[in-house]
Amino acid sequence: MNGFLYLIFGFLTTLITELIVYFMFIKGKKLNIFLYCLLINSFTWPLANLIYAYINLFLLIELGVFLIELILIKILFSVGWKKAILISLVANILTTTLSFII
Amino acid sequence: MENKLFFGIIFLILVLPLVSADAIEPGYHGIRINNQITNINDFPNYVFVSYSTLGGMPRSIDIIGKDGKLKAYYKFDLVSVYAIPKSEFNESYINYLNSNVTANGDLFKIYFNSPQIKKVIANVVSYTTVSYIDPTTEISDSYTIDLNKILTKPTKEETNKNLIYVYILIPIIVLVIIIFIIIKRRK
C-alpha cells in the first residue's frame, strides 16, 4: 500500500470509528451527523498528523484533538458539555487504540 | 452501567497498547525501498546475488537479473550483495542451499567466505517508516558498484513526494465552513 492509500485508509478508519460513536450518542438526522463528523475530522485529523510529523508527542496531540473535538461537538451538535466530553472521549480512545493496532 | 463503561475504557487504555508488539509507531507507516544496481551489465563475467539473513540466520540467496533490481525483503532482513565469477557460479547449488536454510546454515557461511566471491554491497535497506504526514510515497536507491569496494550506502537516492499543502488547506477550509455554520445559526 503506498503512502497516499495509507493516508486515505487512516482517515477513513478514524472517520468511520468516530461516526459509529456519534451515531451511538447523538440523535438526529443521520446525514447531518455524518456531515458534522466529516467536518470535525477533516479539521483535526490533518492538523494532528501535521503536528505529529514535527513534534513526537503522541498523547499530548491526542489530548489536543480530544479538546478541540469536544468543543466542535458541543457547538455543531448543540449538546451539553458532559455529553460532548463523553462522545469526544470515547471516540478518541477508540481511534487512539486503533492507531496502535493498525 | 456507567461503572462498567468506565472500567471498560480504563481497560482499553491500559491493555490494548501493549498488544501491538510488532506494530509500527503510531502516526507512521511503512514504505518499501526499491533497490537497483545501475551498472550490473558492466560486469558480464559475474553473477550477482543478494543474500539475506535474519538475526544472523540465513534466509535466502536470490539471483539478481540483468535489470539490476533487488527483490523486496522483509523489514528486519539484513541484505548484502555478492559478485560471483560465472566460472564459480552453480545455480543448482544455490537452489540446494535455499531448499533448507536452517540445515544449511553453515554451508551458506562457507560459500560466502570463498575468496572468489566478492561482497559489493552491505546493509541494503528494503524498508523504512515515515510519518503519515511525510509526503514521501516511494524511495528508490541505486548503487553503482565497483568490484574492489563494498558499498554501505546507495550511490543515489530518489524520493517521490506528494504535496503537503493539503494538510494545511483542508483544515482552513473546514474552519471557514464551521464558522459559517455558527454565524448562520445565530442569525
In a domain, B45, yes or no: yes
Residue A76, pLDDT above cutoff 70: yes
Reply yes or no on whether the pLDDT at A35 is more than 80: yes
A39 and B174 within 8 Å at the Cβ level: the answer is yes
Note the pLDDT of residue B187. Answer: 78
What total of structural domains would you count in chain B?
Answer: 1
- Beta pairing class for B127-131 and B28-37: antiparallel
d(CA A7, nearest CA chain B) in Å: 6
In a domain, B124, yes or no: yes
Q: Which residues of A touch B (CB under 8 A)?
A: 1-4, 6-7, 10, 39, 42-44, 46-47, 49-50, 52-53, 58, 72, 75-76, 89-90, 93-94, 96-97, 99-102
Q: How are beta strands B156-161 and B28-37 bridged, if at all?
A: unpaired
Q: Given a cut of 60, is residue B102 above it in pLDDT?
A: yes
State residue B73's pLDDT score. Answer: 86
pLDDT digit string (tens) for B34-79?
Answer: 999 999 999 999 999 999 988 888 889 999 999 999 998 888 889 9
B179: confidence class by pLDDT, cuts 50, 70, 90: very high
A50 with B133: Cβ contact below 8 A: yes
Residues whose CB is less than 8 angstroms from the CB of residue A13 and which lie 6 or more positions away in sequence, other chains included: A95, A98, A102
Contacts within 8 Å (CB) and 24+ apart, B98-105: B98/B60, B98/B61, B101/B57, B101/B58, B101/B59, B101/B60, B102/B57, B104/B58, B105/B57, B105/B58
Interchain contact, B130 vs A89, CB within 8 Å: no
The top-scoring range by mean pLDDT among A48-62, B16-30, B147-161 is B147-161
Q: Which residue of B has its CA nearest to A56?
A: B27
* pLDDT of A99 higher than 70: yes
Which residues in chain A have Cβ-Cβ distances shorter than 8 Å to B181?
Answer: 76
Q: Which three cell numbers stand for residue B150?
A: 563494498
HSE-up (13 A, CA, CB side) for residue A26? 31
Is B133 within the bounds of a domain?
yes
Q: Provide the residue range defining the domain that includes B148.
A: 21-162
CB atoms < 10 A from the CB of A64, how many? Answer: 15
Q: Do B135 and A52 touch (CB under 8 A)?
A: no
Q: Does residue B142 sit within a domain? A: yes
Using CA atoms, how far residue B176 sits from A5, A35, B170, in Å, is 27, 15, 10
Residue B95: which residues within 8 A CB-CB, separation 6 or more?
Answer: none
In the sheet where B127-131 sits, what is the strand order? B127-131, B28-37, B136-143, B156-161
Any domain includes B54: yes
Average pLDDT, chain B: 83
Decide if A90 and B9 are in contact by the 8 Å CB cutoff: yes
Report yes or no on B10 lying in a domain. no
Residue B46 lies in a domain: yes
Measured at the CA of B32, the angle between CA A52 and CA A102, to 5 degrees, comes to: 50
Give SS3 for B84: strand
CA dihedral B167, B172, B178, B184 (to 10 degrees): -150
Burial of A97 (0-12, 13-18, 19+ CB in 10 A): buried
Chain A partners within 8 Å of B20 (Cβ): 100-101
Cell of A23: 451515531
* Distance (Å, whole) CA A85 – CA B50: 55
Q: Is it the case that residue A52 has pLDDT exceeding 80?
A: no
- Mean pLDDT over residues A45-51, rounded? 84
Given A42, A52, A100, which is nearest B131 (Cβ)?
A: A52
User: Which residue blocks in chain A are alpha helix, DSSP H?
Assistant: 3-25, 30-54, 58-77, 81-101
Q: Which residues of B touch A64 (CB under 8 A)?
A: none
Q: What pLDDT score was predicted for residue B27?
A: 62
State the pLDDT at residue B112. 86
Res. A6: pLDDT tops 50: yes
Q: Is residue B62 part of a domain?
A: yes
